[in-house]
Amino acid sequence: MGSMGAPGASESADFSMKPAETLPLTDECHHYEGKNEVPWDIQKYFSQRYSIFSLYDEGVYMTDDAWFGVTPEPVAIHVATDMYGTEQQKHILIDVFGGAGGNSIAFANSGRWSRIISIERDASTLACAQHNAEIYGVGPDIITWVHGDSFEYMDKLVNHPEELHPDLRPDLDATVLFASPPWGGPGYRTDEVFDLYNMQPYNLDDLHKAYRRLDHALFLPRTSDIRQIAKLAPADRQIEVVQYCMEGASKALVAYMPGTSSTDSGK
């Protein structure tokens, strides 16, 4: 404990959210080498490990939960170049559900983005992402990692930017957002049309309200109800919906939603 000086300028630098240090891998982080080590419910994903991370054998780490939601690498690469490809004025990307890093790494390596801010709430998952980024040659100069809640981050970014570390306050007019949220487990596969208002724990409304200021891309189940997405188009703007396939079957769709501009009221 140091001496008790008057509250000074150094305390004012205590921002509630700031860039994360490099976090250590934990007991929750695994690099499985054989199927016999893998919990039964992720064995299917383990057999697809090279489509998920082509450099898996270089020592990719995942938490057990991350396997269900990680975007396969060819899809992540495709999305990284599709993302608002023509709007060169927008060159910063926020990945709000960073997970084990699949999408953020692809965004970084696409050359399309000058900076990526990648947010993850779980320390072990974030440690995996940082480790995996290193394997893919992606340094901290391009990805700024944040350990925290992305809804809190977005609220501060739009409404109270002064509470964020200066490195976490990108110019909103130069920024787009990508969200690959949890879908509430693989149950979505049994629905002919997936009701996005039943998605757990965040439904379409939760996501759209949090992100609407920015152009935002939502990575959603392939069976998602497109009519629910279409209703969210701002006046006179279109939403583009793209199905991403591997070996002839759709893995997921991405809805590219325009944001409300800075001159809109945001309502």
Q: What's the min distance (Å) between Cβ of 211 and ligand MGP?
A: 15
Q: What's the min distance (Å) between Cβ of 189 and ligand MGP?
A: 6
Q: What's the min distance (Å) between Cβ of 69 and ligand MGP?
A: 4
Using an 8 Å Cβ cutoff, are 73 and 49 in contact? no
Identify the three-state secondary structure at position 233.
coil
Q: What's the min distance (Å) between Cβ of 124 and ligand MGP?
A: 18
Q: Which residues bind ligand MGP (CB under 6 A)?
A: 68-69, 71-72, 180-183, 186, 189, 219, 251-252
Residue number with CB closer to ligand MGP (85 or 186): 186
Nearest to 252 by CA among 149, 150, 182, 176: 182
Residue number with CB closer to ligand MGP (160 or 189): 189
H or E element that contains 10? helix 9-12
Residue number with CB closer to ligand MGP (61 or 219): 219
Q: What's the min distance (Å) between Cβ of 161 and ligand MGP?
A: 27
Positions of E strands within the chain? 29-30, 62-63, 92-95, 115-120, 143-147, 175-179, 215-220, 240-246, 249-257
Residue number with CB closer to ligand MGP (32 or 219): 219
Using an 8 Å Cβ cutoff, are 217 and 256 in contact? yes
Residue number with CB closer to ligand MGP (45 or 156): 45
**DSSP designation for 89:** T
